[in-house]
Amino acid sequence: MARRIRRPLGPLDLRAQAILRAVIDEYVTTATPVGSQALVAKYRLPVSSATVRGVLAELEAAGMLSHPHTSAGRVPTDVGYRYYVESINVMEPLPAVEQLMIRHQFGQVEFASEHWFRLAATTLATATGSAGLATPAKPVAARLRRIDLVSIHGRLASLILVLREGTVKQQLVHFDNVQTQEALAAASMLVNQHLADLTAAQVERRLPRFGEAGGEDEVATLARRIGDLVLRTMRDFDHEKIEEVFSDGLLNVLAAPEFAQSDKVRRVFSALENRAYLGDLVDAIGGRGRVHVFIGQENRPEEMHEVSLVLAPYGQPGRAMGVVGVLGPTRMSYRHAIGTVSFVSGLLDELVDHLYA
Amino acid sequence: MARRIRRPLGPLDLRAQAILRAVIDEYVTTATPVGSQALVAKYRLPVSSATVRGVLAELEAAGMLSHPHTSAGRVPTDVGYRYYVESINVMEPLPAVEQLMIRHQFGQVEFASEHWFRLAATTLATATGSAGLATPAKPVAARLRRIDLVSIHGRLASLILVLREGTVKQQLVHFDNVQTQEALAAASMLVNQHLADLTAAQVERRLPRFGEAGGEDEVATLARRIGDLVLRTMRDFDHEKIEEVFSDGLLNVLAAPEFAQSDKVRRVFSALENRAYLGDLVDAIGGRGRVHVFIGQENRPEEMHEVSLVLAPYGQPGRAMGVVGVLGPTRMSYRHAIGTVSFVSGLLDELVDHLYA
DNA sequence: GTTAGCACTCTGGGCGTGAGAGTGCTAACG
DNA sequence: CGTTAGCACTCTCACGCCCAGAGTGCTAAC
């Protein structure tokens, strides 16, 4: 799991930190192990390659770097990336140009909440060159606004639950005997009278009384049946994990050279299909505003050991929360990803605020 | 494009046909070029390998087989597969065991139409070992059942369109000035009175009159605004291609040895993302009951030249149609795929019939 | 503490070779 | 005249080999 508490940045002196950063920056762009000479040349280090070699050996001893083989350059380990990520705590805002481009894209889309998170995934994918992920903002507790019962034919009807904020749940209902549209209308009116504006818990408490009140005619029986169904649907809604994870730009990830062999590709894709894990993370990464990074092996599922997640929650705590983020190879530009994810989640915050104003 | 008319099965004599089938069956299972000796051994052909070599040369001349290099075995071409597919016109039903397994899976799921097509994709994926595809059954012409207008806060409301068969469309509406829930209720009642049970075309004709009838008070203005929105939404619904293509088991396809190199994998995946093409095909493959096969290069988009589609429409012609099918490497078991797709589309037919009974 | 120098190590690409698989051809056979 | 056995030929693939190149680790000098 990701470390929650930022610990003091270990026993590394400043020069070592700078060199670690250089190694990572270089490796992120070139994807090949980086050697001491390349480092001094490209990053204009004020020391010789021999000195750098010494520091690299230290960093390797500290577990930050690894060595594919004796005569190869260094490659960052997950621990190294983690250290790097912790060290860029000064959250520099996204460059104005990129901000504008993203804002522009959001300006294009209709004002409909279901489009937002899809757009967010797409935007993140193009902006970071990794896969973009997004879940819808799921209300914490369903509150019924009203139901509708629409007859399809005699013994089949469509039950529509409108929840607060305009979320809609729809399902089919079978009856044992034919029901007229009038009976359905009467029953749904009854249900609306009793259950409107209640949460699942409140519905549950009201339900038994509601049964008695209705008397014993057919409409009341029908209404009770519907009431039960409403409760079950709302309970399901409250309990269901966020499973709808929208993703875009998966092909970006495949383009990375580390996934040149197709068995690795397979592993990455089964990682991407692992939506349950993302759903779990949604709960784990509570409050608004923070960006969370899960690097390689820090991810619980085996198949995600070669990828990293940069995620941020959005929405209104206690009311409706979702998650957006980026999935890429562990060798990704965390700096840029964090900036972008942070910005996009902020945008979504604004949009959700608008819904709950 | 796929050949629509079944032509008489070409100039091949029976022995050649049998050998072509043998080559394809063998290649489908082994994924390696098949030679004359393996053929006589495994398929107990009553001739020698030399004779088979002669026939293979004929088949190659006819464009049914190809030769990776001089000293390699034969590989079927797209034309060869096409010939093969045409020759298994006798649609043998799926083995009873598999029928049972599939029926069982469908028995598990709730009676809710939106689950069906997802389940169909999953089922097809597991049954055929390829990727399963499915689109929902989209009504041909939207017919309004009723609308609901739910206030979210003063100037924002959620407009819910319930269409026949219980399809629901939801979107947000902005108002320039604050609207009470009462005003919204009055307006939606007005709209329901005038527009219920109409198609888009009918709504369009009714709309101008409806404006006059309402007079000039605020509610009427609001209702007109909503009416316009309803019309636009219904028009969109009618015109929109089926874009929601659900897929499952993509990893199955990747496991095939022909996609061992990751650039090929990339191409396949961009093929899978090409949902627009599938939407187009939905229109192309009209009536119920027939299974359509699109082999490799027969597919219009470049990126699908290495995969095949086995698709079948389902639903009720003229009312609501969707498509289910399978996407796999051109080297797939067409026989089994066709049988399975046919069976699953038949199952979905039953389910849709139930909706429209 | 830093640096130059140097020996050492390991990879990756290029090349040649040989086994194996499969073909195409031809001559003999029923 | 179709079928078959035999055989030379071709091409791939796996293996082993070698070498250039890159990078390290160590040591001695600054």
List helix spans (H) across chain A. 14-30, 36-43, 49-61, 78-87, 96-108, 113-128, 181-195, 200-213, 218-239, 250-255, 262-273, 275-284, 334-355
CA dihedral B331→B334→B340→B341, nearest 10 degrees, is 90
Tell me which residue in B152, B166, B355 faces A150 most closely, judged by beta carbons: B166
Which residue's structure tokens are 């009720």? Answer: B316
Q: Which of A89-98, A334-343, B27-36, B322-331 has the lowest mean pLDDT?
A: A89-98
SS3 content of chain A, % helix, strand, coil (to 5): 55, 20, 30
The token duo for A348 is 């979504």
Would the pLDDT of A128 be above 50?
A: yes
**Contact residues for strand C with beta carbon within 7 Å:** A 46-48, 50-51, 54, 68-72; B 33-38, 49-50, 53, 56-57, 60, 67, 70-74
**What span, in angstroms and rounded, lies between the C-alpha atoms of A79 and A62?**
9
* Distance from C-alpha of B127 to C-alpha of B248, rounded to nearest angstrom: 12
What's the Å distance between residue A264 CA and nucleotide D16 C1'?
29
Q: Which residues contact A267 (CB under 8 A, 6 or more apart)?
A: A303, A306
- CA pair distance B110, B120, nearest whole angstrom: 13
Closest residue in A to B146 (Cα) is A150
Chain B CB contacts of A265 below 8 Å: 254, 262, 265
pLDDT tier for residue A221 given thresholds of 50, 70 and 90: confident
Residue B22 near residue B43, CB atoms below 8 Å: yes
Whether B67 and B316 have beta carbons less than 8 Å apart is answered as: no
- Between residues A259 and B122, which one has the greater pLDDT? B122
User: At residue A241, does pLDDT exceed 80?
Assistant: no
> Per DSSP, what are the bridge partners of residue B69?
none
Instruction: Identify the pLDDT of residue B103.
Output: 93
Q: State percent of chain A over pLDDT 70.
A: 91
pLDDT of residue B163: 85
CA distance B241 to chain A (A): 17
Distance B51 CA to D2 C1' (A): 9
Measured between CA atoms, the residue of chain A closest to residue B172 is A112
pLDDT digits (tens, 9 = 90+) for B205-237: 988 877 665 556 778 888 889 999 999 999 988
Per-residue confidence band for B2, with pLDDT thresholds at 50, 70 and 90: very low
Across the interface, of B110, B251, B269, the residue whose CB is closest to A254 is: B269
Q: Would you say residue A236 has pLDDT above 60? A: yes
Which of the residue ranges A80-84, A109-113, A245-249 would you say has the lowest mean pLDDT? A109-113
- Residue A253 phi, psi (nearest 5): -65, -40
Residues 6+ apart with CB under 8 A from A108: none
- Is the pTM for the entire model greater than 0.95? no
Per-residue confidence (pLDDT) for residue B88, from 0 to 100: 84
- pLDDT-based confidence at residue B1 (cuts at 50, 70, 90): very low
Per-residue pLDDT at B260 exceeds 90: no
Q: Is A287 exposed, middle or buried (0-12, 13-18, 19+ CB in 10 A)?
A: exposed
**pLDDT for res A357:** 67
Report the percentage of chain B scoring pLDDT > 90: 43
Burial of B235 (0-12, 13-18, 19+ CB in 10 A): middle
CB contact under 8 A, A158 and B166: yes
The shortest CB-CB distance from A111 to any of B174, B265, B270 is to B174
- Give the residue from B149, B81, B109, B63 showing the smallest Cα distance to B338: B81
Q: What are the φ and ψ backbone dihedral angles of B336, each rounded to 5 degrees?
A: -70, -40
Nearest to B308 by CA among B344, B341, B355, B286: B341
Q: Which DSSP state fits A213? A: H
Q: B50 is written with which tokens?
A: 């030399």
- With 80 as the cut, is the pLDDT of residue A300 above it? yes
Give the pair of three-digit tokens for residue A298.
């820090």
- Convert the pLDDT of each residue in B330-340 to its tens digit: 999 999 999 99
Given this model, what pLDDT does residue A77 score? 97
pLDDT > 70: what percent of chain B? Answer: 91
Interface of B with A (CB under 8 A): 110-114, 145-146, 148, 150, 152-153, 156-158, 160, 162, 164-166, 168, 170-172, 174, 250-251, 254-255, 259-262, 265-266, 269-270, 273, 354-357
The separation between CA B142 and the C-alpha centre of its own chain, rounded to angstroms, equals: 20
B90 versus B50: the higher-pLDDT residue is: B50
| CA gyration radius, chain B | 26
Per-residue confidence band for A309, with pLDDT thresholds at 50, 70 and 90: very high
* Residue B166 in this model has a pLDDT that exceeds 90: no
Mean pLDDT of B96-122: 85
Average pLDDT, chain B: 86
Whether the CB-CB separation of B299 and B305 falls below 8 Å is answered with yes
Give kind and range of the element (H or E) at residue B168: strand B168-174
What integer pLDDT is reported at residue B272 of this predicted model?
76
Cα-flanking dihedrals φ and ψ of residue A353, to 5°?
-55, -40
Helix H segments across chain B? 14-30, 36-43, 49-61, 78-87, 96-108, 113-128, 181-195, 200-213, 218-239, 250-255, 262-273, 275-284, 334-355
Residue A85 burial class via C-beta count within 10 angstroms: exposed 0-12, middle 13-18, buried 19 and up: buried
> C1' nearest to CA of A36: which nucleotide?
D23
Residues B229, B159: contact at Cβ < 8 Å?
A: yes
Lowest mean pLDDT among A99-108, A268-277, A308-317, B79-88: A268-277
Interval A139-150: pLDDT, tens: 888 889 889 888
Least confident of A103-117, A175-189, B12-26, B117-131: A103-117
- Closest-approach residue (CA) in chain B for A357: B153
Confidence band for A299, pLDDT divided at 50, 70 and 90? very high
- From the CA of B257, how many Å to the C1' of D9? 30
Nearest beta carbon to residue B265 from set A146, A153, A262: A262
pLDDT at A7: 44
* CA gap A354, A319 in Å, rounded: 13
Q: What is the per-residue pLDDT across B336-355, written as a single tens digit (0 to 9) for each?
A: 999 999 999 999 999 888 87
CB distance B343 to B96 below 8 Å: no
Give the pLDDT confidence score for residue B269 in this predicted structure: 82
Residue corresponding to tokens 């960093």: A59
Q: Residue with structure tokens 């994807």?
A: A31
Question: Given an 8 Å threshold on Cβ–Cβ distance, is A172 in contact with B160?
Answer: no
Min Cα distance A160 → chain B (Å) is 8
Following DSSP, what letter does each residue of B68-97 receive, concatenated? Answer: SSTTS-BEE-HHHHHHHHHHT-S-PPPPHH
Residue A211's pLDDT is 61
Decide which of A336 and A273 is more confident. Answer: A336
Please tell me the predicted confidence (pLDDT) of residue B289: 65
Residue B84, pLDDT above cutoff 90: yes
| Minimum mean pLDDT range among A247-251, A288-292, B113-117, B286-290 | B286-290
- Least reliable range by pLDDT among A20-24, A95-99, B112-116: B112-116
Contact A148 B153 (CB under 8 A): no
Please answer whether residues B310 and B330 qualify as being in contact, where contact means their C-beta atoms are separated by less than 8 angstroms: no
Q: What is the mean pLDDT of chain A?
A: 86
pLDDT at residue number B241? 66
**Which residues of chain B have a CB within 8 Å of the CB of A171?**
110, 112
Q: Are strands B320-329 and B131-134 parallel, antiparallel or unpaired?
A: antiparallel
Span CA (B6) to C1' (D13), Å = 42
Phi and psi at A33, nearest 5°, equal -50, 140
What is the bridge-based pairing of β-strands A75-76 and A65-66?
A: antiparallel
Cross-chain Cβ contact A270/B251 below 8 Å = yes
